[in-house]
C-alpha cells in the first residue's frame, strides 16, 4: 500500500500465470476491445499526478540521450536556487548510484532507481520512488529519466512538464532522427553551447528548424551549465512554472 495516500498501488504485483489449455474444439469469438495498450501505466501516471498536486509540487521529467548534461544541469540549478526553492530528484539509470550521489552532494534529497534492463522509467517506478521522498514542503521534484532518446517517450510518468535536452556534440539533426521524443516535450534545452566554437557543424538555426518540423511547439533555450543568459532564462522558466503551479493549487 502507498504510505503517502493509502492507495493500493504497492510495488508491481507478480503476474499470475495463466497457462493455455490443450486444444480441443471450442467456440470461437472475436471481441472488440479498443484500449490504449499502456492504459495501466497511464492510470498510475494520473495517480502520481494526484500525489504531486496534493503536495503542491511541480514535477519535471528530463529526457535526453546519455551524457547530454541532465545531471550537470540539475547540479548547477540546485546551486543557483539554494535558499530560494526546495528541490528533490528521482534519478533513473540502468545501473549505478552515481547520479543520485552527485545530487546528494549538492545537499538535496535524491532517490536512485536502477532499472536493470529497462531502458526507460515508467509510472510505477516513479510511484515506488515517491515513497522514499518527503514531498511535503517541496517546490520542485525533478525526474532524470534513463539516458535514451527513444524509449522514455512512450511512458507517461504523470509529471507536469517534460523536457528534452539536445547537447551540441550530438549534432543538430537529432530531432529529425528521434522525432517522437522531441515532439512530446514542453521545453527543449540546447545544452553545452560553450562548445559551439569547437563544433562548427552544429547550427542552432538548423536545430530549431528540425524541432519545428517534428511538431515541437514549446520554447527553446540555449544554455551551458556554466551560467550566462541562457541559464538565467532556464531558471526564469522554472520560477514561472513554480508560480503557476502554486496559483493552480491555491
Query: Among residues 45, 62, 99, 100, which is the contact residue for Mg ion, using CB under 5 A?
Result: 99
Nearer to ligand GTP (CB atom), residue 55 or residue 120: 120
Whether the Cβ atoms of residue 143 and residue 92 lie closer than 8 Å to each other: yes
Q: Which of 2, 4, 7, 38 binds other proteins (CB under 8 A)?
A: 38
**30 is a site residue for other proteins (CB under 8 A):** yes
Which segments of 114-173 does DSSP mark as H helices, in order? Answer: 123-130
- The answer to whether 54 and 138 are in contact (CB under 8 A) is no
32 binds, among Mg ion, ligand GTP, other proteins, none (CB under 5 to 8 A by kind): other proteins
- The site that binds Zn ion (CB under 5 A) totals a number of residues, namely 5
Q: Which is nearer to other proteins, 68 or 145 (CB)?
A: 145
- 40, exposed or middle or buried, with CB in 10 Å at 0-12, 13-18, 19+? middle
Among Zn ion, Mg ion, other proteins, none, partner that 33 touches (CB below 5 to 8 angstroms by kind): other proteins
Residues 132, 111 contacting (CB under 8 angstroms): yes
Residue 246 touches which member of Mg ion, ligand GTP, other proteins, none, C-beta under 5-8 Å by kind: none
Footprint of other proteins on 138-197 (CB under 8 A): 150-151, 153-155, 175-177, 179-181, 183
Query: Cβ distance 90 to 124 under 8 Å?
Result: no
**CA distance linking residue 246 with residue 226, whole number of Å:** 29
56 vs 46, 146, 186, 209, CA distance in Å?
Answer: 15, 25, 20, 36
**142 and 74 Cβ atoms separated by less than 8 Å:** yes
Q: Name the residue with cell 552544429.
A: 202
Q: Which is nearer to ligand GTP, 6 or 116 (CB)?
A: 116
Give the residue among 237, 178, 176 at the shortest CA–CA distance from 212.
176
Q: Is 118 in the site for other proteins (CB under 8 A)?
A: yes
Q: Return the one option of Mg ion, other proteins, Zn ion, none that residue 2 interacts with (CB less than 5 to 8 A, by type).
A: Zn ion
Closest CB 30 distance from ligand GTP, rounded Å: 45
Subset of 143-182 contacting Zn ion (CB under 5 A): 151
205 touches other proteins (CB under 8 A): no
d(CA 215, CA 198): 29
Minimum Å distance from CB 212 to ligand GTP?
24
End-to-end CA separation in angstroms for the chain: 28
In the list 5, 12, 244, 249, the residue contacting Zn ion (rule: CB under 5 A) is 5
Which residues in this chain contact other proteins in the complex, by CB under 8 A? 15, 17-21, 23, 26-41, 118-120, 122, 150-151, 153-155, 175-177, 179-181, 183, 210, 212-215
Which residues in this chain contact Zn ion in the complex, by CB under 5 A? 2, 5, 7, 119, 151
Amino acid at each position: 500500500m502507498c504510505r503517502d495516500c493509502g492507495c493500493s498501488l504497492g510495488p508491481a504485483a507478480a503476474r499470475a500465470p495463466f497457462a493455455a489449455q490443450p486444444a480441443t474444439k471450442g467456440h470461437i469469438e472475436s471481441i472488440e476491445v479498443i484500449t490504449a495498450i499502456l492504459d495501466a501505466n497511464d492510470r498510475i501516471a494520473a495517480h502520481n499526478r494526484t500525489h504531486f498536486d496534493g503536495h503542491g509540487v511541480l514535477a519535471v521529467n528530463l529526457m535526453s540521450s546519455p551524457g547530454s548534461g541532465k545531471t550537470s544541469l540539475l547540479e548547477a540549478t540546485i546551486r543557483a536556487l539554494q535558499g530560494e526553492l526546495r528541490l528533490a530528484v528521482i534519478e533513473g539509470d540502468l545501473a549505478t548510484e552515481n547520479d543520485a550521489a552527485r545530487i546528494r552532494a549538492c545537499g538535496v534529497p535524491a532517490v536512485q532507481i536502477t532499472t536493470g534492463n529497462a531502458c526507460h522509467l515508467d509510472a510505477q517506478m516513479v510511484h515506488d520512488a515517491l515513497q522514499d521522498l518527503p514531498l511535503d514542503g517541496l517546490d520542485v521534484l525533478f525526474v532524470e529519466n534513463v539516458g535514451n532518446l527513444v524509449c522514455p517517450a512512450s511512458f507517461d510518468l504523470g509529471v507536469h512538464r517534460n523536457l528534452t535536452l539536445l547537447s551540441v556534440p550530438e549534432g543538430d539533426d537529432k530531432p529529425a532522427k528521434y522525432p517522437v521524443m522531441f515532439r512530446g516535450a514542453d521545453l527543449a534545452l540546447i545544452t553545452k553551447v560553450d562548445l559551439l566554437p569547437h563544433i562548427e557543424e552544429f547550427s542552432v538555426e538548423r536545430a530549431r528548424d528540425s524541432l519545428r518540423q517534428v511538431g515541437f511547439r514549446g520554447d527553446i533555450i540555449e544554455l551551458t551549465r556554466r551560467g550566462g543568459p541562457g541559464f538565467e532564462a532556464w531558471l526564469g522558466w522554472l520560477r514561472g512554472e513554480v508560480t503557476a503551479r502554486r496559483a493552480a493549487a491555491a
